[in-house]
Amino acid sequence: MSPASAPLLDVAALHALIDEIGQQDRPLVLLDVRWALDGSKGEHDHLAGHLPGAVYVDLGTELAAPARPEAGRHPLPDPADFAATLRRLGVTEGSRIVAYDDTDGGPAARLVWMLRALGHEASVLSGGLHAWNGPLESGPVTPEPGDVPVRDWPADRIASADEVAELAASEEAVVIDARAPERYRGEVEPIDPRAGHVPGAVNLPYAGNLDPERRFLPPEELRERFEAAGVTADGEAVVYCGSGVTATHDLLALEAAGFPRVRLFPGSWSQWSADPERPVAVGPNPNP
């Protein structure tokens, strides 16, 4: 996989991409996905300072449909709604897209996974805003509208709750819980109806994909991490988190490490735990 098409991009590769695309008739779309569940991060941060030309996208309203128990806290948006968002952001069929945030890459990963699932060439800026070593701009950015068509979410990139239950029970795939260990073990649950995890799931917190500078680990180190949890080159992995956001962090790390057969459980724990018929497991990771 070339750096230009990889799901993760470091700042040196971004500078090279800016120079390369500047010599071509091809748009580079930079997207600012700063967001926090408590509202402490958002468009106000973008207006104060952002990568030159970057357009703001709101995760809560544009990268998710309204919450509902049967679909979770951040369901994937309706395909027509997401296409309208991409057109507002200036995305065209030939766009090269790089997204960033200023935390751990989780919000940006959500957008990049959605884009890649629909066939767009998109990457997360590893290290996010903190890794950027160029100038910043302030104020809003309004691009020329894009022209992307409506595309349905591909069935081979997502898994339903029933599929997750079947795969975890049959061991036909590695089901990965990307949440913090204490939530996986069922010791705390600050948001969702019940504490614990999907029976049979292994815990690989997404934060483990990062180095102390909040940059993604090299692909070979990511590969070792996932192999230790039982993921194989020809096997399948399905990832969930609390609501389908930070699970995409693990999904992009898996892809960067060379594991192509990966799927998202979009409803994640917020959907699973809201259904009283779904069993819940507690306790330590069986494959730490």
Per the annotation, the verdict on 241 as an active-site residue is yes
CA angle 110, 284, 191 (to 5 degrees): 45
Name the phi and psi angles at 57, rounded to 5. -130, 135
Tokens coding 100: 């960033």
Q: What is the DSSP letter of 209?
A: G
Distance CA 274, CA 192 (A): 7
**With the CA atoms of 261, 264, 265 and 270 taken in that order, what torsion angle do they form, in degrees rounded to the nearest 10?**
150
Active-site residue (options: 241, 251, 253, 256): 241
CA angle 175, 177, 183 (to 5 degrees): 145
Neighbours of 26 (CB within 10 A): 13
Name the phi and psi angles at 225, rounded to 5. -65, -45
Give the SS3 label for residue 19.
helix
Q: Among 100, 107, 105, which Cα is nearest to 51's?
A: 100
Which residues does residue 123 pair with via DSSP β-bridges, in sequence order? Answer: 98
Distance CA 253, CA 211 (A): 13
Enzyme catalytic residues:
241
